[in-house]
Structure 1
Amino acid sequence: MKDLIAIVLFFAITVTYIVIVGIIQHKLTKRLKGKGQQFKEEAEQDGRKVTAYLDHYDELHVQNYDEKTEQFSSGETEYIATYYYVAPNGKKYKMHELDCHFKCIPSEERTLYLHPRNYHKYYKGNMSLGKHPNIFMVFTVICWIGLYYWIMTVFVAPVLLH
């Protein structure tokens, strides 16, 4: 009977922890989205909203290798573009190469929101501002799991097992 109570308490604590973490994570994400929207509005007011213009683009044919048939199959077509934008200081900047890979033909213009002190940094107008980058999300999940493990081993397990 004592074991059954311990198992029920363990699952109740786990579910409660998951709900609390979900609420906290939702509030943090909402706050970051609000800050992203605020950054976007401030950039528009300060004249840091600029348009990047397409200089040229190249077509890449990606081929996939199938190990079973030992042949290359025709894969997807990717496009690599070169965009330039003029910052409020009058200098011409080139967009980062990572932001210039596309699955479809790139558009002639892109909207960018520049950082107030460093015009090399920008946010793309079509991306949802304030979302976690993938690496930060993975780090956050690892931290939540570590906190859960610590709480269970330091507080919950000694109480339930004795």
Structure 2
Amino acid sequence: MIRVLFVCLGNICRSPMAEAILRDKVAQAGLSDVITVDSAGTGDWHIGEPPHEGTTDLLSKKKISVDGMKARQVKKEELETFQYIVAMDAGNLGELHKLAGLTNTSSISRLMDYVEEFEIEDVPDPYFTGNFDEVYEMVEKGCDQLFKHIREESGL
């Protein structure tokens, strides 16, 4: 099983958006039995809450489900059980590296590392900007490229 974990600050905007988008792409490709997708936050403020209404409204318009998603905090042991740990920005990337300590961090990257045509390295937090459409565009493109990378790397 290939395991992908998206990580943002509170796990209510960007990372659940990425989780839902990639899960949808995986399902459409008939690979749900091979690839599993999850999300978490580095912070603990929103544990147990559903995704932000800006995320759920936008994904609903795109007919992408967020059913059952609840915010949670990333755990250190997950850094060893997920093959792809994908941070939304440099701040969360740094937090993941701190959490990992001396553990191998080669599986940790930023989503925009997979997208050559964007010069922006960080997915902005729509919790603060309100720009869910811009974030969706970036996350959707990032998930396309990440999925392509996973398929190439694993021969799917």
Q: Which protein shows a greater Rg?
A: 1
Is this a same-fold pair by TM over 0.5? no
* TM-score bracket, shorter-length normalisation: under 0.3
**How does the TM-score come out when normalised to structure 1?**
0.22
